[in-house]
A = this chain, B = another copy of it.
Amino acid sequence: MSKIVIAKAHTNIALVKYWGKKDPKLMLPQNGSISLTLDHFYTETSVQFSTHASEDQITFNDTQLSPVKAQRIVKFLDLIRAKSGQSARAIVKTRNHVPTSAGLASSASGFAALAAAGSRAAGLKLSLTDLSRLARRGSGSATRSIFGGFVEWHAGEDDLSSYAEPLQDPVDWDIQMIAVVLKATKKPISSTAGMQRVVATSPYYPAWVQTANRDLIAMRQAIADRDLTAVGTLAETNAMRMHALNLSAQPAFNYFTAETLTTINAVQDLRAQGINCYYTLDAGPNVKIICASKDTKAITTALQRHFRADQLIIAQPGPGISITEA
């Protein structure tokens, strides 16, 4: 029996998006990305390797996963076993602290926590950079959830050069996100399949990669300047250009619902009224609103014309990974 290791990782929301792989096996992205880790949403995962177990046992929010649902996690544990020489099966207990069905990038915090707890339990002592590389193999966005605050994931050219690192900003300035948790709907297409279709069929994809690379440079500067308007404008434009790729794929798809459009329109109306706020969206209907805390009240009041108060979650910049041994 190995020791039990518990890791806690927070989710992150990309301000310059990752959308498309250049190497699906190594999970190398087509372009770099920049995100903000949030305090409100996190995953806690414990891992123990045990020679008594005949197969990996994965418990998710107190329910044991079926072999089919556990497949992606078992594959990731196999990678840890290959790296560490640990040959035993694992007992994994994971708990997502996100609102039910919020679809708020739970694979980012999930694989970051699993990489940290799993590698340590298997006897590896990885640097944060190496943890970031390992988490990447589970889910692209998990690469960034190893670190807190503003984080950049360098696209890289191979396993070694594709990792995240924190931007040198302590985030002691006033920036936050309001997550608008909308009615859960069946995703029209998973993010993995969606980005694959986009890379294969969108005539706009090469221009996306170019514009994302330009956005990285501008976003680094906007963060260094602590310029909320620049961060928000860049994030909103970048997000819509990612969603434009989905519309331009063949066949076209989109992640918008009626409530997504309502939220986008509300943010545009607020901005027209002088409230400095911006929207971003990932592969799902939920909208995240970038703003300063002084505007929280005006924004949530306006949104409560359309949504319940408990659908509006205010999230502050969050910390990086933490690891404890039981």
Contact = CB atoms under 8 A, between A and B. Distances in A.
Contact of A247 (B233, B244, B251): B244
Interface residues of A, number: 27
A113 interface: no
A157 B207 CA distance: 26
A307 interface: no
Interface stretch (A55-63, A84-92, A256-264, A312-320): A256-264
Nearest to A239: B252
Nearest to A207: B203
A95 interface: no
A211 interface: yes
Contact of A251 (B206, B210, B237): B237
Interface in A223-239: 233, 236-237
A322 interface: no
A66 B50 CA distance: 83
A2 interface: no
Given A211-B203, A245-B244, A237 B250 contact: yes
A240 interface: yes
Nearest to A237: B250
A237 B261 contact: no
Could you say which of A240, A250, A258 has the most chain B C-beta atoms within 10 Å of its C-beta?
Answer: A240
B243 A247 contact: yes
A261 B252 contact: no
